């Protein structure tokens, strides 16, 4: 451990940083959660003026590390040294006042508040009783300077995901961030915004700022970062300089021997049957805040094919998927399943008729984290109508644990003690078992690292090819859409704006339609 840190030392003395002291140093940082050591004696130096990428598979401890730096988690052991001074960070407010600001994958800004209200909360120079309008001018000026168009008085729920992330970044700038912690903050942005962001990050670092960048897109990290640190199971697996970093080296550090399985080649194209399993006709569905999120969508899925729905988050995919699963009322239009009108049927009906469902945020909406793996499987209506046959369920659970390599002490372990990736595996294993006809999924691998995500996609496609199951998969990850789909439908502002056979689809065209 210490040896690794020492070995890595020379790479930090590359010319641009020569003579500079680290702005943030971690020494022996350890954080334990029930059943896991999320961070195990981490040593890390971060230098001013650099973009420092933090990579690692799911559950490696990346988020925990930046949450420690942002004062959300208090480490059990170890020391945080900021500008040469040992510092205790007991809250984000503490971190903000030392110039550390975090932006994470899910926007922290609050929907019911205005942009200005969200931003002023962290600005210490304003006392508690000033009117929020006092910051409007500053916000307008600063947003103009960095090229973001944002009205300070607008309520956040009216913004798109991208705009929200822009506000988060703007907020960080206005808070005078010297160290910007980006935890998958850019990962889900549309490609054009992403490029703008990376340019901004580079510029921020070149002007002397410091960025800690977490992403599971290794190429992006290699593109923009000066330094790369790979975490594995809570420990530092290695430090790399940009010049010496190759994709193979990074993957090897991240995944060990599993890195050989990583490929983004398209999975084999299915040969669908002529009959239609799912048909959606002129569907209109409301969003959470009034207004139609789905506006006249029509589509169909043939037996034994994967229809991928590409789109930037917040363009109605969630509502469409929920309407199909009968979790959201249909205002107008029809949903047909195997030739039968299910527009007024219940989720229960779908679940006992061969439909599997992988929702977004699976740990929240897909499993009950307080219950065991066995119980999370038994709860599905296919198993729990009448009397539950626990012996059979246990047998099935053990089989799935083996098949999907779910890391768990036992089938009776509460799901909340598993890592995010393993929670996801429990869900996918269960849903693929009940999806004898149709699988409905939204971002099925969003939370997973490369190796696990690819494995899940292979398993899904396998099932489609072998058992003639149909699948409709909405995803914000284009790599995923391209890898798994047989046909790709692009969704934008509640409408389907194009459908393409996946083997002929052009990435640029689809990206363009997504943000048009």
Partner 1 sequence: MPGSIASFIIGVSSIFLAYYLAAVGHGLMEKSGVLNLAIDGVFTLGVAVAFAISVYTFSVPLATFIAMIVAAMFGLMLAFITTKLPISHGAAGLSTMFLGYGLAALVGLPARQLQINGRSLATIQPSLGGTWVWFYVVAFAVAVGIWYLVEKTKIGAAIRAAGENPASAEALGVNVLAVRLFASGVGYALIGIGAAVFELAYTQVWSQGAGMGYGWIAFAISLSAGRHPILIIISAMIFAVLDKYRFLIAAIYNLPPDVGKMLPFVAAIAAMIIFMVTPLRRKLAPPKSLGKIYFREERSV
Ligand X SMILES: Nc1ncnc2c1ncn2[C@@H]1O[C@H](COP(=O)(O)OP(=O)(O)O)[C@@H](O)[C@H]1O
Residues 416-475 that bind partner 1 (CB under 8 A): 416
Does residue 175 belong to the site contacting partner 1 (CB under 8 A)? yes
CA distance 356 to 419: 22
Cβ-based nearer residue to Mg ion, 56 or 316: 56
Choose which of 12, 47, 70, 383 interacts with partner 1 (CB under 8 A).
70
Burial of 180 (0-12, 13-18, 19+ CB in 10 A): buried
Cβ-based nearer residue to Mg ion, 181 or 355: 181
Does residue 38 belong to the site contacting ligand X (CB under 6 A)? yes
Does residue 369 belong to the site contacting partner 1 (CB under 8 A)? yes
Does residue 158 belong to the site contacting partner 1 (CB under 8 A)? no
CA distance 137 to 448: 41
Cβ-based nearer residue to partner 1, 99 or 304: 99
Binds 60, which of partner 1, ligand X, Mg ion, none (CB < 5 to 8 A, cut-off by type)? ligand X
Phi, psi at 101, each rounded to 5°: -135, 135
Does residue 33 belong to the site contacting ligand X (CB under 6 A)? yes
CA 214 to chain centre: 11
Does residue 111 belong to the site contacting partner 1 (CB under 8 A)? yes
Residues 125-154 that bind partner 1 (CB under 8 A): 126-133
CA 144 to chain centre: 29
CA 32 to chain centre: 23
The 25-64 site mask, x for binding Mg ion (CB under 5 A), equals --------------------------------------x-
Does residue 485 belong to the site contacting Mg ion (CB under 5 A)? no
- Cα dihedral 378, 380, 386, 388 in deg (nearest 10): -10
Does residue 420 belong to the site contacting ligand X (CB under 6 A)? yes
CA distance 152 to 77: 41
Taking contact as CB under 8 A, which single stretch among the options 88-96, 190-198, 227-235, 476-484 is the one that binds partner 1? 88-96
Phi, psi at 228, each rounded to 5°: -130, 130
CA distance 223 to 205: 14
Shortest Å, Cβ 131 to partner 1: 5
Choose which of 4, 6, 9, 74 interacts with partner 1 (CB under 8 A).
74
CA distance 175 to 8: 32
The DSSP code for 114 is B
Residues 50-79 that bind ligand X (CB under 6 A): 56, 58-64
Does residue 121 belong to the site contacting partner 1 (CB under 8 A)? yes
Residues 350-379 that bind ligand X (CB under 6 A): none
The DSSP code for 301 is E
Q: Alpha carbon of 474 to those of 115, 331, 346, 387, 484: distances in Å?
A: 29, 21, 21, 35, 11
Shortest Å, Cβ 289 to partner 1: 7
Size of the site for ligand X (CB under 6 A): 13
Contact status, residue 316 vs residue 287, Cβ threshold 8 Å: yes
Contact status, residue 365 vs residue 449, Cβ threshold 8 Å: no
Interface residues toward partner 1, by CB under 8 A: 33, 70, 72-74, 91-93, 96, 102, 104, 108-113, 117-118, 120-124, 126-133, 171, 175, 289-290, 361, 363-364, 369, 416
């Amino acid at each position: 451990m210490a040896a690794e840190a020492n070995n890595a030392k020379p790479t930090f003395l590359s010319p641009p940083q020569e003579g500079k002291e680290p702005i943030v140093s971690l020494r022996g940082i350890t954080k334990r959660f029930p059943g896991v050591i999320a961070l195990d004696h981490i040593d890390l130096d971060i230098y001013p003026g650099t973009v420092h990428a933090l990579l690692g598979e799911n559950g490696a401890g990346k988020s925990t590390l930046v949450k420690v730096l942002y004062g959300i988690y208090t480490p059990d052991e170890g020391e945080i040294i900021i500008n040469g001074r040992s510092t205790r960070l007991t809250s984000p407010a503490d971190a903000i006042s030392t110039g550390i600001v975090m932006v994470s994958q899910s926007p922290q800004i609050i929907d019911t508040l205005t942009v200005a209200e969200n931003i002023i909360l962290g600005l210490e120079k304003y006392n508690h009783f000033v009117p929020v309008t006092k910051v409007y001018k500053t916000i307008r000026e600063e947003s103009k300077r960095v090229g973001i168009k944002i009205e300070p008085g607008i309520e956040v729920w009216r913004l798109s995901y991208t705009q929200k992330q822009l506000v988060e970044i703007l907020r960080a700038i206005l808070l005078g961030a010297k160290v910007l912690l980006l935890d998958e903050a850019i990962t889900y942005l549309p490609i054009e915004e992403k490029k703008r962001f990376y340019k901004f990050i580079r510029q921020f670092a070149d002007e002397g700022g410091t960025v800690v960048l977490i992403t599971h897109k290794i190429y992006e990290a290699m593109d923009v970062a000066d330094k790369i640190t790979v975490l594995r199971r809570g420990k530092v697996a290695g430090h790399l300089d940009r010049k010496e970093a190759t994709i193979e080296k990074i993957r090897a550090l991240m995944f060990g021997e599993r890195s050989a399985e990583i490929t983004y080649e398209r999975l084999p194209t299915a040969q669908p049957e002529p009959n239609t399993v799912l048909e959606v006709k002129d569907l209109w569905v409301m969003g959470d805040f009034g207004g139609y999120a789905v506006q006249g969508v029509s589509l169909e899925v043939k037996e034994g094919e994967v229809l991928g729905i590409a789109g930037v988050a917040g363009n109605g995919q969630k509502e469409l998927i929920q309407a199909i699963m009968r979790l959201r009322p249909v205002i107008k239009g029809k949903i047909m399943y195997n030739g039968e009108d299910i527009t007024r049927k219940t989720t229960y009906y779908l679940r006992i008729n061969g439909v599997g469902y992988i929702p977004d945020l699976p740990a929240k909406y897909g499993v009950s984290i307080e219950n065991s793996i066995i119980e999370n499987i038994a709860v599905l209506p296919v198993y729990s109508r009448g009397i539950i046959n626990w012996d059979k369920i246990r047998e099935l659970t053990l089989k799935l644990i083996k098949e999907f390599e779910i890391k768990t002490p036992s089938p009776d372990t509460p799901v909340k003690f598993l890592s995010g990736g393993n929670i996801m595996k429990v869900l996918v294993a269960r849903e693929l078992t009940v999806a004898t006809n149709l699988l409905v999924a939204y971002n099925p691998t969003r939370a997973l690292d490369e190796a696990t995500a690819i494995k899940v996609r292979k398993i899904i496609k396998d099932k489609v090819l072998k058992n003639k199951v149909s699948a409709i998969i909405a995803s914000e990850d284009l790599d995923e859409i391209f890898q798994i789909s047989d046909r790709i439908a692009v969704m934008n502002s509640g409408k389907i704006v194009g459908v393409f056979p996946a083997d002929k689809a052009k990435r640029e065209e689809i990206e363009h339609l997504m943000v048009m």
